[in-house]
């Protein structure tokens, strides 16, 4: 019988700070799903992972970092009875401003003419619009004019942000991710949105950001994006800052999220000088920022393979 790798977590009573810490640590391992049980004051989680290797690495990290604070951890192998599909079956459409993100089984039929619909097939937690950081990015995308612009979505996951850019009028949207499974899900979602595919040039590829050709100085090549979207982790945003900036055209809008409030200063410092802050939004412990790439500002040299 096939099994899925998971970790069972039990929190001590009234340990809100520990819950926040565990949430941040888990984010680095890309859990596929989290099933929450137990009372609100002492929750218990079963956290699912894509592979046993990732599960084992996460288990070691959580045990070493949080055992002293009372967190109990245990590795489990759960019989695979289409748990992923069952865990996602209850998801419903999410509205952020005029963007509506919905699964195929919950497509609203009462949309306004100005609404932008994106259909997403939930798969292994790659992005359904239910996470705070996705909602923050969708909100900030509506503070800029996407019409006729070129978007680059780095770490595209389900493709939700690239598809949303197309729904908001972008001329083209390129979604890149180093995870083939994520890109496979994004391509499935592209097929679910034929009207967007007809209206814009949308591409999803398995690509490392460092492999995307950077804009040559003084040129305006297809690789230069007018809108750069990056919903990553705080550490990844800091590390990838030179590469993200190198792919942004002068005056480009850059929307960054995936970092928590305590990481905001470090993330913003990585983009300082080459950008200016236009807007910031927060939801819970998560934050997102809209930056504008300064025209004429020196661009960092992107990393090379």
Torsion angles phi and psi, residue 22, rounded to 5: -65, -40
Give the pLDDT of residue 86: 58
For 55, which DSSP code?
H
Give the pLDDT of residue 40: 75
- What parts of the chain have a pLDDT lower than 70? 1-2, 80-90, 123-129, 211-223, 296-305
- For the packed helices 234-246 and 264-271, what is the interaxial angle rounded to 10 degrees? 10
CB 155 within 8 A of CB 231: yes
First to last CA, the chain: 41
Residue of 255, 302, 296 lying closest to 274 (CA atoms): 296
- Give the three-class secondary structure for 132: helix
Within 10 Å of residue 164's Cβ, how many Cβ atoms? 30
Q: pTM value? A: 0.72
- For the packed helices 180-191 and 160-167, what is the interaxial angle rounded to 10 degrees? 30
Distances (CA, A) of 151 to 65, 166, 173: 38, 8, 5
Element (H, E) at 141: helix 132-141
Question: Rounded to 5 degrees, what angle do the CA atoms 177, 98, 277 make?
Answer: 60
Give the pLDDT of residue 179: 85
Length of the chain: 305
Residue of 123, 127, 120, 99 lying closest to 111 (CA atoms): 99
Handedness of CA 101, 107, 111, 113 (dihedral sign): positive
- Which two three-digit tokens encode residue 63? 């045990």
Torsion angles phi and psi, residue 297, rounded to 5: -70, 140
Mind listing the domains of the chain with CATH numbers?
3-86 (3.30.70.600), 90-293 (3.40.50.150)
Give the pLDDT of residue 34: 79
Distances (CA, A) of 120 to 104, 137, 235, 276, 284: 7, 16, 27, 32, 24
d(CA 156, CA 118): 14
């Amino acid at each position: 019988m096939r099994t899925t790798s998971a970790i069972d977590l039990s929190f001590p009573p009234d340990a809100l700070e520990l819950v926040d810490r565990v949430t941040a640590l888990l984010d680095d391992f890309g859990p596929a799903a989290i099933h929450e049980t137990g009372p609100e004051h002492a929750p218990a989680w079963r956290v699912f992972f894509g592979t046993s290797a990732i599960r084992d690495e996460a288990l070691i990290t959580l045990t070493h970092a949080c055992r002293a604070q009372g967190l109990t951890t245990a590795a489990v192998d759960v019989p695979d009875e289409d748990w992923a599909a069952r865990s996602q079956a209850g998801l419903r459409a999410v509205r952020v401003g005029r963007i509506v993100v919905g699964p195929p089984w919950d497509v609203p039929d009462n949309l306004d003419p100005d609404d932008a619909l994106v259909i997403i097939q939930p798969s292994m937690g790659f992005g359904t619009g239910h996470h705070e950081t996705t909602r923050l990015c969708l909100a900030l995308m509506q503070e800029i004019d996407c019409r006729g612009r070129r978007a680059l979505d780095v770490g595209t996951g389900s493709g939700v942000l690239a598809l949303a850019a197309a729904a908001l009028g972008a001329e083209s949207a390129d979604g890149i991710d180093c995870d083939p499974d994520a890109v496979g899900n994004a391509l499935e979602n592209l097929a679910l949105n034929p009207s967007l595919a007809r209206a814009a040039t949308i591409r999803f590829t398995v690509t490392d950001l460092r492999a995307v050709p950077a804009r040559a100085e003084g040129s305006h090549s297809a690789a230069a994006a007018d809108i750069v979207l990056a919903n990553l982790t705080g550490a990844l945003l800091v590390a990838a800052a030179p590469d993200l900036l190198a792919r942004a055209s002068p005056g480009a809008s850059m929307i960054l999220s995936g970092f928590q409030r305590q990481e905001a200063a470090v993330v913003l410092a990585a983009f300082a000088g080459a950008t200016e802050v236009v807007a910031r939004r927060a939801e819970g412990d998560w934050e997102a920022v809209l930056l504008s790439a300064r025209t004429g500002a020196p661009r960092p040299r992107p990393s090379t393979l």
